[in-house]
């Protein structure tokens, strides 16, 4: 049986983050190909992480900057190593190369971090974001280097595929479009318009775009909605809720910060509208996909909807200004026929854009083709060979220095 080693910067938490849910979807694809999967991370244990035996996944706590990882991977002998973010690739890729040079290296970016960072910086400075500014970013240099060093990079967004091609000239043969995947969908379980009430927003508070979205709701949007719908409530859910977020909770304003929810699907299905006024970010938004699955229309921003609906009409509305955003939210909330129309549009997006069957076979074929001609595949990516050559010196020696320093402290 072939072996897949996933190296994660965090343990997968599908109930807390879209990234955790996506990771399980990727692992599921490999298990469909009869891969034995081991998940390894140097992160501290998490109460929200999955119970690995339930998913037939092995788990391994590893050390950062330690030769023990080399010993572990030499014994495991994985056929494929998957890094969950570019930072993880930087930390472990050279060790994989030294210990298992024939292992296929795959990077899952989750979202294009350099794009998210640049948008956040432009927002903070009150500037209009320019894609060309990505070329000047240190994060871009690091992330694109990681992409070029790997044999394949999984991209969740078609828009970000275009950015890699147009801004950074990344060759098509080393990037692969793989969005969120839906196995099946049932419209029967969705509650009706009359059974639902209130607005909902869900998002892990550790993710900066989510926290800013909550602030945007509180300061700019909810007062406008509340003025038109004085009995409605805004319910905010999310794991790792900090004190600064809890301080926004206000019963009299109907703005309720409720923290982590045990069943996000139940909460989403009981709400009439999902709100996601994101002002920066990247990738696909798991909360909006989940809203469609639950038959809940959503009002979001251009960045929120980016890469999700393609040529399909949006399941709700897309606005960036607080006034238009709030007006649309009130209209969809109060009009049953309009609400039902938007709900159906969400089902159409799911059907045409995210069904697993649309992407699985192409993914299986790509993995097999790279495995069958790995040397030719790597030779075609000459810049990747150059970056591997340089990286396996600078990163390696830095890690070795830290390793020696840690050992000296232990001896002392």
pLDDT of residue 247: 96
**Confidence band of 126 (pLDDT split at 50, 70, 90):** very high
Buried-state track 11-45, b at ≥16 Cβ within 10 A, e below 16: bbbbbbbbbbbbbebbbebbbeeebbbbbbbbeee
Tokens of 390: 């340089």
For the segment 240-248, the average pLDDT, to the nearest whole number, is 95
The residues facing 236 across adjacent strands are 201, 257
Which CATH architecture fits 3-181+357-411? 3-Layer(aba) Sandwich (3.40)
Q: What digits encode the pLDDT tens for the residues 286-321? A: 999 999 999 999 999 999 999 999 999 999 999 999
Q: What digits encode the pLDDT tens for the residues 206-222? A: 999 999 999 999 999 99
User: What number of residues does the chain have?
Assistant: 412
Burial of 366 (0-12, 13-18, 19+ CB in 10 A): middle
- CA-to-CA distance for 3 and 103, rounded, in angstroms? 10
265 CB contacts (<8 Å, ≥6 apart)? 290, 293, 294
Percentage above 90 pLDDT, the chain: 86
Sign of CA dihedral 76, 80, 84, 88: positive
Helix (H) or strand (E) segment spanning residue 234: strand 234-237
DSSP-derived 3-state class of residue 268: helix
CATH number given to 199-354: 3.40.50.2000
DSSP secondary-structure letter at 367?
A: H
Residues of the chain with CATH 3.40.50.2000: 3-181+357-411, 199-354
pLDDT of residue 392: 54
In Å, what is the CA distance from 80 to each residue of 39, 147, 247, 290? 12, 16, 46, 30
pLDDT of residue 262: 83
Does the pTM exceed 0.75? yes
Neighbouring CB atoms inside 10 A of 152's CB total 21
- CA-to-CA distance for 16 and 394, rounded, in angstroms? 35
């Amino acid at each position: 049986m072939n072996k897949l080693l996933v190296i994660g910067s965090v343990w997968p938490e599908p109930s807390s983050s879209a990234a955790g849910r996506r990771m399980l979807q990727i692992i599921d694809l490999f298990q469909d190909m009869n891969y034995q999967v081991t998940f390894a991370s140097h992160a501290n244990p998490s109460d929200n992480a999955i119970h690995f035996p339930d998913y037939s996944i092995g788990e391994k706590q590893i050390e950062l900057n330690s030769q023990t990882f080399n010993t572990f991977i030499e014994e495991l002998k994985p056929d494929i190593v998957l890094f969950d973010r570019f930072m993880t690739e930087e930390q472990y890729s050279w060790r994989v190369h030294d210990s298992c040079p024939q292992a296929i290296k795959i990077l899952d970016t989750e979202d294009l971090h350099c794009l998210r960072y640049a948008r956040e910086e432009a927002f903070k400075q009150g500037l209009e974001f320019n894609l060309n500014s990505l070329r000047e970013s240190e994060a871009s240099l690091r992330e694109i280097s990681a992409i070029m060093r790997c044999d394949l990079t999984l991209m969740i967004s078609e828009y970000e595929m275009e950015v890699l091609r147009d801004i950074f000239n990344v060759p098509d043969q080393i990037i692969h479009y793989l969005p969120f995947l839906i196995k099946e969908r049932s419209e029967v379980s969705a509650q009706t318009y009359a059974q639902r009430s209130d607005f909902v927003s869900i998002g892990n508070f550790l993710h900066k775009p989510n926290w800013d979205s909550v602030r945007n709701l509180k300061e700019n949007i909810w007062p406008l909605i509340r003025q038109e719908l004085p009995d409605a409530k805004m319910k905010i859910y999310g794991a790792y809720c900090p004190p600064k977020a809890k301080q926004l909770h206000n019963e009299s304003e109907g703005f309720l910060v409720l923290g982590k929810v045990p069943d996000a699907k139940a909460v989403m299905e009981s709400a009439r509208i999902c709100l996601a006024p994101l002002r920066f970010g990247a990738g696909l938004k798991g909360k909006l996909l989940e809203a469609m699955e639950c038959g809940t229309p959503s009002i979001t921003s251009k960045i929120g909807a980016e890469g999700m609906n393609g040529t399909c009409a949006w399941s709700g509305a897309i606005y960036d200004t607080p006034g238009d955003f709030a007006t649309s939210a009130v209209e969809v909330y109060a009009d049953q026929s309009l609400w039902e129309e938007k709900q159906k549009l969400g089902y159409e997006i799911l059907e045409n854009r995210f069904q697993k069957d649309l992407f699985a076979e192409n993914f299986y074929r790509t993995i097999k083709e790279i495995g069958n001609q790995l040397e030719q595949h790597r030779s075609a990516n000459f810049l990747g060979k150059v970056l591997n050559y340089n990286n396996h010196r600078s990163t390696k020696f830095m890690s070795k220095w830290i390793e020696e320093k840690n050992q000296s402290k232990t001896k002392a």
